[in-house]
């Protein structure tokens, strides 16, 4: 499974002890993964904004744009 380097996305943060260090939208407890899980399940940005109170629409859009524009790193396997 490939992964993105979320440390390069300015609208997310990972803080040890906050949501187990998962990447979340800055200033929230909304995991980035939850955005994509909902999108994959057929939701759209309006649905996400309605279901998760307190989110900033621009942050959600920025996370999606970052994912679309980012090169994906292939996993590294130890021999």
| pLDDT tens digits, one per residue of 58-73 | 999 999 999 999 876 6
| pLDDT tens digits, one per residue of 7-37 | 999 999 999 999 999 999 999 999 999 999 9
**pLDDT of 34:** 96
**pLDDT of 56:** 95
Give the Cβ contact number of residue 17 at 10 Å: 6
Residue 44 pLDDT greater than 50, yes or no: yes
- In sequence order, which ranges of the chain are alpha helices (DSSP H)? 32-40, 45-51, 57-69
**pLDDT of 78:** 59
> Has this prediction a pTM greater than 0.85?
no
């Amino acid at each position: 499974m490939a992964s993105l380097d979320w440390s390069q996305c300015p609208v997310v943060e990972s803080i040890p002890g906050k949501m187990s260090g998962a990447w979340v939208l800055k200033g929230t407890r909304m995991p980035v993964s939850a955005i994509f899980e909902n999108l994959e399940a057929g939701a759209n940005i309006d649905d996400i904004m309605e279901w998760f109170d307190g989110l900033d629409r621009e942050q959600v859009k920025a996370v999606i744009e970052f994912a679309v524009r980012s090169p994906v790193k292939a996993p590294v396997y130890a021999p």
